[in-house]
């Protein structure tokens, strides 16, 4: 067990009457016909009230049951008693559930079984054993033109969740967009406004890719797309065209209670630190920031882009129709996930008058159009898996991605291609509840308002514990505030559940955990799975605050780490 003394190190704490009559008569006629056909009043569907009696070659199958013409098996419902059980055994029927009298039999034998049960007064219903039809996505979009949607979600088997006013909301940080575009006219978009074609194009495409509900444009054959989460709740937060505008927009979104923020833009990774403060503010408020990785590989020397490189921001790169990384996409270790981004059929607002340029759709390319796919998926997951926080949602997206390129995480694809289906079922990742705590400035009140809560203070009766995670590329350090009582000592431990961590305690005067070995009081870096542990003493007559840092050990080469920190006081 390592020991260290903090004594003497503390100098500063730190949203026409005729026609009506005719319509009424038509409705009366329809109702009378429906009742005559065996339906029930008040609009209840036939299938919900009257047991069906559909048998092969004995009844006409309606259009709604057209798939029954190919059914190889039949379902027979009968009164659940001993007579039914005897008849069904004799006729060779399979038991589905004897307690409710449900049996299955080959199509060729269904009429014979039904006849026998009818003679015995036991037959209740008969119906074809039809295949399950998943609701899936609206079936009127063109899957060949909109190839990218099927790459990230099975549009036949997976049904997007219903959208209500209380469904989680996606923030779009864009200069403007055209809310009257055919893909957005009936969307659940708030705050949308237009500045003109050149300013609107980017935001219109981003919004439609995320949440276009589809509509008349698709049905008329003139174009149109369906978004990743059709009709999802979205709000535009206008960003202007500079660092200040984007920073203000992210802060406004974070304070508006959105679930996810989409940022399809970037700055050089060394510029616009204020934007970093904005995304960290969003993280503190439980929001998941998602950003485009950038399009700098071919023309700007693969310049790394903020906010994609910043901690806790999901960085999204782009793939083409062959699932290869797009030639333009920025590549670095901070890339977390990929989604289609090359020649993505989506809206485009053109100011040209030439007929060839007036259709409001185009093949757009850029990581800008990959990011909203991930953002919409993250917002969807927030509703589908409500017990998870934003950090866990982000981890779900990356850990469930379809691996591309070199095995494991790599600078081209991150952890792979977005897979919504996998994300819906992947095991819940561990929580990371105290973010942002990447360095001392994020927890001591100097970069974000207010100090982070203490993990331990002298008034506590029980040990303070916190479970958390680290990432080698996007979350390399966690820092905690600890207060030591006068003339006492603390036992600080860290159990290494996944990965190899290092533990150290820094003086009250420390400003960062990233450098300055002289500020370290004591450290522990034992090989996993050994528990890290240190003892810190305060021999002074007043409380002293220290910083406990958990970092990635140089021995660990995989991406994620999971640990539990424990702090207890001793006299």
Query: Across all residues in the chain, what is the average pLDDT?
Result: 85
User: Are 74 and 204 found together in one domain?
Assistant: no
Q: Are residues 405 and 448 in the same domain?
A: no
The pLDDT tens digits of the residues spanning 325-373 come to 999 999 999 999 999 999 999 998 876 544 444 558 889 999 999 999 9
Q: What residues form DSSP beta bridges with 474?
A: none
**Which CATH number does the domain housing residue 94 bear?**
3.30.70
Contact by Cβ (8 Å): 149, 96: no
Top-ranked range on mean pLDDT: pick from 175-184, 229-238, 262-271, 439-448: 229-238
Q: What is the extent of the structural domain holding 503?
A: 2-10+433-570
100-111: per-residue pLDDT in tens?
788 899 999 999
Task: Confirm whether 32 is domain-assigned.
Answer: no
User: Is the separation of the CB atoms in 193 and 238 below 8 Å?
Assistant: yes
In a domain, 36, yes or no: no
What number of CA atoms fall less than 13 Å from residue 27's CA on the CB side?
9
Query: How do beta strands 488-498 and 560-570 pair?
Result: antiparallel
Percent of the chain with pLDDT over 90: 67
Note whether 342 and 215 are same-domain residues.
yes
The 8-class DSSP code of residue 241 comes to T
pLDDT band at 284 (very low <50, low <70, confident <90, very high): very high
Instruction: Read off the pLDDT band of 134 (50, 70, 90).
Output: very low
- pLDDT band at residue 97, thresholds of 50, 70 and 90? confident
Q: Are residues 410 and 463 in the same domain?
A: no
Question: Hey, which of 138-147, 192-201, 315-324, 459-468 has the most confident mean pLDDT?
Answer: 315-324
Closest to 492 (Cα-Cα) out of 535, 528, 438: 535
Q: What is the pLDDT of residue 5?
A: 61
Assess whether 403 and 538 both reside in one domain.
no
Residues 391 and 501 in one domain: no
The model's pLDDT over 502-517, given as tens digits with 9 standing for 90+, comes to 999 999 999 999 876 6
Clarify whether residues 558 and 447 are in a common domain. yes
SS in 3 state form for 244-264? HHHHHHHHHHHHCCCCEEEEC
Is the distance from CB of 442 to CB of 448 less than 8 angstroms? yes
Instruction: Indicate if 382 and 448 belong to the same structural domain.
Output: no
């Amino acid at each position: 067990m390592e020991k260290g003394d903090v004594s003497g190190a503390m100098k500063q704490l730190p949203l026409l009457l005729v026609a009506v009559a005719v319509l009424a008569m038509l409705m009366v006629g329809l109702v009378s016909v429906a009742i005559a056909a065996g339906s029930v009043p008040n609009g209840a569907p036939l299938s919900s009230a009257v047991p069906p009696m559909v048998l092969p070659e004995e009844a006409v199958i309606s259009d709604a049951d057209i798939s029954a013409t190919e059914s190889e098996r039949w379902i027979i419902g009968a009164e659940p008693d001993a007579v039914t059980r005897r008849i069904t055994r004799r006729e060779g029927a399979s038991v589905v559930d004897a307690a409710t009298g449900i049996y299955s039999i080959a199509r060729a034998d269904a009429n014979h079984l039904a006849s026998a049960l009818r003679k015995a007064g036991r037959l209740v219903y008969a119906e074809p054993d039809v295949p399950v039809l998943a609701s899936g996505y609206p079936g009127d979009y063109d899957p060949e033109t909109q190839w990218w949607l099927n790459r990230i979600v099975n549009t036949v088997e997976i049904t997007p969740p219903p959208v209500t006013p209380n469904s989680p909301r996606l923030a779009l940080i864009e200069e403007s967009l055209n809310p009257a575009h055919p893909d957005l006219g009936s969307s659940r978009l708030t705050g949308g406004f237009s500045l003109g074609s050149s300013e609107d194009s980017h935001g219109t495409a981003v919004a439609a890719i995320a949440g276009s509900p589809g509509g008349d444009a698709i049905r008329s054959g003139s174009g149109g797309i369906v978004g990743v989460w059709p009709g999802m709740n979205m709000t535009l937060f206008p960003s202007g065209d500079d660092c200040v505008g984007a920073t203000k927009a992210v802060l406004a979104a974070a304070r508006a209670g959105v679930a996810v923020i989409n940022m399809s833009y970037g700055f050089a990774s060394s510029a616009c630190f204020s934007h970093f403060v904005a995304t960290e503010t969003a993280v503190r408020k439980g929001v998941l920031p998602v950003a485009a990785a950038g399009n700098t590989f071919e023309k700007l020397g693969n310049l790394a882009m903020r906010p994609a490189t910043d901690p806790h921001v999901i960085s999204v790169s782009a793939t083409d129709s062959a699932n290869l990384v797009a030639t333009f996409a920025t590549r670095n270790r901070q890339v977390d996930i990929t989604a289609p981004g090359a020649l993505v059929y989506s809206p485009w607002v053109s100011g040209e008058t030439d007929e060839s340029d007036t259709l409001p759709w185009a093949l757009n390319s850029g990581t800008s159009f990959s990011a909203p796919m991930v953002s919409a998926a993250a917002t969807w997951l927030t509703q589908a898996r409500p017990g998870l926080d934003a950090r866990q949602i982000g981890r779900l997206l990356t850990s469930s991605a379809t691996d591309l390129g070199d095995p494991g995480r790599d600078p081209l694809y991150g952890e792979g291609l977005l897979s919504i289906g996998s994300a819906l079922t992947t095991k819940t990742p561990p929580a990371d509840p105290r973010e942002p705590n990447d360095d001392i400035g994020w927890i001591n009140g100097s970069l974000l308002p207010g100090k982070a809560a203490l993990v331990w203070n002298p008034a506590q009766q029980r040990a303070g514990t916190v479970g958390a995670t680290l990432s080698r590329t996007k979350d390399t350090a966690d820092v905690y505030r600890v207060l030591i009582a006068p003339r006492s000592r603390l036992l600080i431990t860290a159990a290494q559940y996944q990965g190899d961590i290092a533990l150290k305690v820094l003086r009250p005067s420390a400003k960062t955990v990233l450098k300055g070995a002289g500020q370290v009081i004591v450290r522990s870096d034992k090989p996993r799975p050994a528990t890290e542990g240190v003892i810190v003493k305060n021999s002074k007559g007043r409380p002293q605050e220290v910083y406990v840092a958990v970092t990635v050990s140089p021995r660990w080469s995989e991406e994620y780490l999971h640990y539990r920190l424990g702090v207890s006081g001793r006299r």
